[in-house]
Amino acid sequence: MPDNKVIETAAEMANALRFHGYTKFKNLKTGDRVRNVTVLVPGAQRSMEAQKIGQLFEGAEVSPDMKSVVVGQIKIVLKPTERQGAGSAGAATETRLLQSINEIIELENEGLPITVVLEAAHRKIKRTGVRRAVSVATSSRRNEQGLVNKSDIDLETDSGIFHISVKDPTAQYWESPDVLFKTKRDELLDALSEEGRVTLTREPQGTFAISPRIALEPTNAEIQALVFGSDIASSNGAIVESGFFPTDFVWEEVNNTLRIKGGAIYTTVTDIPRTKLPVFVIRQDRSRNRTAKYPGLRVIAPQRTYIEGRPDVLFLSTTERLKYGV
C-alpha cells in the first residue's frame, strides 16, 4: 500500500527511501529548502526501480524516461551506481584526457614540457611547452553577468594557459541558464498566458504546469555566452568534443609530441552544426520551486535537436522575442 505520509523535505524523503531499502545517495543535502534527492541504483535496473519507487508513495509521478519520480514537491532522481564520480560519462572523459597528458609528460618525457596537438576532421590546434594539465571543472563560477567559466582542463604552457572545455559526444545540454533570465522569464509567461498562447496551471502542491513548452531562439550573443562562457572565447581556448579513448592518443617520441584525436573542435559559433546549437526551453520541473511567481518551471539550454519535430513546443524566434522584451 502506498505511503500517504506528507513528505516536505529531502531529508524526510531520504529517510523514507532508506526504510524501503534504498541506502545509496549522491550528494545528499538536508536543508529545509532542499527538494531533490538523488538515489543510486544499478543502471540496468533503473527503469524498474523508478516504477517501484513510484508505487511506494501516494500521488507519485514517474517521468516518461523512467529516470525520476516526483512526490509532491520532492523530486527523486535515479542514477546508475556504476557511472558516478569518475565513472560518469562527462567526468570519465575529462579524467582520461587529464591523466593521459600528465602520464605522457611524467612517464614518457621525464617531466619535461611536451607539444600537444588537438586534431579533428577540419581543425588542428597545436600548443608547445605544455608542462601539465590541470582539472578546473569544479572551480567554475558565474561572473556578475551570469556567465560561467566553461573550461574543464587547463593546459599550463610556457606561453600561458590554454583552456579546454570537454564535451562528451552524448551530452545534450549546454547549460542551465535560469540566472540569465531571472525576472524576464516571468514577464514572458505573463504575456503569453494573457494572450492564450500558453496555459499555466497551478497544481495542488503549489507548483505550475505549462502547456505547451516554450522554446526561444537565442541571439548570437547568447549563443556565445552559453557555449563559450567567460573564458573560452575571451582568451586562448577551445571546446573539444570527444570520448578520449586510448586509441585517440598517439605519442611521437621523436619530436616529443602528443597527438590527440577528437570528433570535433569548436572555437567559434560558426564551427558548431546547426542541430547542436543551443535553444532556450521553458518547461516543467517540480523540483524548481525557488521562484516566487511560477514555482515548478525552469529554463534549460539543450541542443536544438531537443525541440525539432515536437508538437508540444511554442517556438519564438529572435524577432518575435523582441515583442515580449526578452
> Which tens digits make up the pLDDT trace of 80-130?
876 655 445 556 788 889 999 999 999 999 999 999 999 998 889 999 999
Structural domain contains residue 5: no
Measured in degrees and rounded to the nearest 5, phi and psi for residue 2 equal: -60, 145
| Residues sharing a CB contact under 8 Å with residue 45, sequence separation 6 or more, in sequence order | none
Q: Give Cα separations from 11 to 218, 220, 292 (angstroms).
A: 38, 42, 23
Q: Do the Cβ atoms of 233 and 224 come closer than 8 Å?
A: yes
Based on the domain organization, do 246 and 106 belong to the same domain?
yes
Based on the domain organization, do 153 and 96 belong to the same domain?
yes
Dist. CA 155–CA 148, nearest whole Å: 19
Domain end (from 255, 271, 287)? 271
Based on the domain organization, do 241 and 196 belong to the same domain?
no
| pLDDT value for 140 | 47
| Residues sharing a CB contact under 8 Å with residue 170, sequence separation 6 or more, in sequence order | 89
Based on the domain organization, do 106 and 159 belong to the same domain?
yes
| Residues sharing a CB contact under 8 Å with residue 268, sequence separation 6 or more, in sequence order | 233
Domain end (from 83, 112, 136)? 83
Residue 66: is its pLDDT beyond 80? yes
Structural domain contains residue 309: yes
Based on the domain organization, do 46 and 75 belong to the same domain?
yes
C-alpha cell at 322: 523582441
> Which of 140, 130, 141, 142 is CA-nearest to residue 98?
130
The number of domains in the chain is: 3
What value does the mean pLDDT take over residues 44-66?
A: 89
Domain end (from 60, 83, 106)? 83
pTM of the prediction?
0.69
Based on the domain organization, do 160 and 257 belong to the same domain?
yes
Based on the domain organization, do 79 and 93 belong to the same domain?
no
Based on the domain organization, do 182 and 298 belong to the same domain?
yes
Based on the domain organization, do 95 and 79 belong to the same domain?
no
Structural domain contains residue 2: no
Structural domain contains residue 1: no
Dist. CA 45–CA 170, nearest whole Å: 21
In sequence order, the β-bridge partners of residue 115 are 257
Residue 206: is its pLDDT beyond 70? yes
What value does the mean pLDDT take over residues 316-324?
A: 93
Structural domain contains residue 4: no
Based on the domain organization, do 95 and 199 belong to the same domain?
no
Instruction: Kindly indicate the confidence band of residue 43, based on its pLDDT and cuts at 50, 70 and 90.
Output: confident
- Greatest mean pLDDT among 39-53, 208-222, 225-239 lies in 208-222
| pLDDT value for 138 | 53
The residue range of the domain holding 76 is 10-83
Structural domain contains residue 3: no
Dist. CA 123–CA 120, nearest whole Å: 5
Structural domain contains residue 319: yes
